[in-house]
Amino acid sequence: MTDALKLGFGNFAAPAKAGPSGVLVVFCDDALKLGPATRNTLGSTATLVARAAKAERFTGKKNTALELVIPEGLKVGRLVVIGVGKAGELKAKDILRLGGLAMGKLPTAASDATIFAELPGGAMKPDQVADLAQGVRLRAYSFDRYKTKRKDEEKPPATRSVTIVTGDIAAARKAYDPRAAISDGVLLARDLVNEPANILYPEEFARRASALKKLRVSVEVLDIKAMKKLGMNALLGVGQGSARDSRVVVMRWNGGKAGDAPVAFIGKGVCFDTGGISIKPAAGMEDMKGDMAGAACVVGLLHALAARKARVNAVGVIGVVENMPDGNAQRPGDIVKSMSGQTIEIINTDAEGRLVLADVIWYTAQRFKPKFMVDLATLTGAIIVALGQEYAGMFCNNDQLAERLTKAGTETGELVWRMPLAPEYDKMIDSKFADMKNTGGSRWGGAITAAQFIKRFVDDKIPWAHLDIAGTGFDSRQTDINRSWGSGWGVRLLDRLVADHYER
């Protein structure tokens, strides 16, 4: 849900229409140098900026800002000068972040802002203007649909309009179009992650995914009967303790060559994870409404691909369940037969995500014979111990796919770090009673044994990557491009992977 933001592009020639509640944002480098159009607009106010910079010890370092209230000589109520450091070194993800920073400098009361898309060397290139705009858009998002009481000073204006001024409006718009599609996908994913589990249970999740039909994505929903027929007993076992029925949702976007094998994305969609009979402790359990961040990313990604009409065939398959303790819930010691035919001894009912993925991955591979598969899952606390919230863990059976994901990660700032897979870890999930057990027994290497489990459902002929996003899918850090809890992590990463390598 966006904070009613009106984002538009304007010309350098007609800047800063704003009155006292308006904000003007400009950029300077670490020599405090401003661009020519900026200097022109600031006129004598530039001297004021130089004096304020000295007083505030503002040096134009990257991602720092200087703010002047009621700047003499300008009509706006506030002038914000944002440092970019060395302008020549700015990458796309840096510009994105600057856009977020700029949006963050709008006081709650401000109704409109003008951002000068100019660097000291001159106008930003269309792609840079578009990255800046995307940063604004991502930062403007807030999830406040359940806030009914807010103090006056916390109330944002009904609409906020942000105009990004540039040298070439048409080129900026053209470059922004696909980024707007991607941003919508990110915000959709955030909405799903932020939504509480009493509202967003599996059937409702499937309904929301079905809204992609509007973008000509074909959406199929498998109900319990269909899943039973397919033999998805690993997934069904997880959901059997819940009053809410499980679902599998299959989304298909066909923008590529007819008959060309699709790329496939698979998401863990545990709408709430209590742990089941192996119940979790109370502290922090509310976070487990976000245990569907993998599925949310897949829905957001399919939205992005369809909305920007990506020239690729893509499928998204998500397993949506709720993991609850109940008289009918699965027990430790139970043995289930997965769709693949392999049997699984349940040691811990809280290791449920891998059970869901086992059937959904097997199903996707059988049905679609994809070019590659990437699954996303908030799978283990262990990956947070290993990597914190900066990198997602990546497990991959194919070096080329791993390299491509790593590169897409550095480009977008959604970082992945490759983790090992090896027979020694695989041995740890052998079971006394069944083909495998659902935990490694020890907490050591917990993210790896989880990945080894999933790997047993993947044919090595298909390139596959598993992204453990337990640390990145939701987070309470406030970043320059996200102030909400759900991050929408992975939408930009995977869109980039597709754009760089798989479009015709």
Closest of 366, 364, 334, 324 to residue 234, by C-alpha: 334
Residues from 331 through 370 that contact Mn ion (CB under 5 A): 350, 352
Per rule CB under 6 A, is residue 470 in the interface with ligand BES?
yes
Closer residue to ligand BES in complex, CB, 292/462:
292
Per rule CB under 5 A, is residue 322 in the interface with Mn ion?
no
CA 212, CA 390: separation in Å to the nearest integer?
Answer: 30
Which option in ligand BES, Mn ion, Zn ion, none does residue 389 bind, with CB closer than 5 to 8 A by kind?
none
Which residue of this chain has its Cβ atom nearest to ligand BES in the complex? 381
Q: What are phi and psi of 18, to 5 degrees?
A: -65, 150
Catalytic one among 33, 280, 311, 407?
280
Note if 280 is an active site residue.
Answer: yes
For ligand BES, which stretch binds (CB under 6 A), given 33-41, 54-62, 206-214, 346-354?
Answer: 346-354
Per rule CB under 6 A, is residue 446 in the interface with ligand BES?
yes
CB–CB of 294/375 below 8 Å?
Answer: yes
The DSSP letter of residue 130 is H
In three-state secondary structure terms, 270 is strand
Whole-number minimum distance, CB 483 to ligand BES, in Å?
20
CA distances from 315 to 145, 180, 241, 261, 270 (A): 31, 21, 29, 10, 20
Per rule CB under 5 A, is residue 273 in the interface with Zn ion?
yes
CB–CB of 114/10 below 8 Å?
Answer: yes
Residues from 274 through 313 that contact Zn ion (CB under 5 A): 291
E strand or H helix at 396, and its extent? strand 391-396
Closer residue to Mn ion in complex, CB, 322/350:
350
CB–CB of 124/118 below 8 Å?
Answer: yes
Q: What are phi and psi of 5, to 5 degrees?
A: -105, 130
Residues from 261 through 280 that contact Mn ion (CB under 5 A): 273
Catalytic one among 160, 268, 289, 354?
354
Whole-number minimum distance, CB 380 to ligand BES, in Å?
4
> Three-state SS string across 227-262, please?
HHHHCCHHHHHHHCCCCCCCEEEEEEEECCCCCCCC
Per rule CB under 6 A, is residue 364 in the interface with ligand BES?
no
Per rule CB under 6 A, is residue 439 in the interface with ligand BES?
yes
E strand or H helix at 181, and its extent? helix 169-194
Contacting residue, 118, 191, 245, 350, with ligand BES by CB under 6 A = 350
Note if 105 is an active site residue.
Answer: no
Q: Which residues are catalytic?
A: 280, 354
Q: Which residues bind ligand BES (CB under 6 A)?
A: 273, 291, 348, 350-353, 378-382, 439, 446, 470
Q: Which residues bind Zn ion (CB under 5 A)?
A: 270, 273, 291, 353
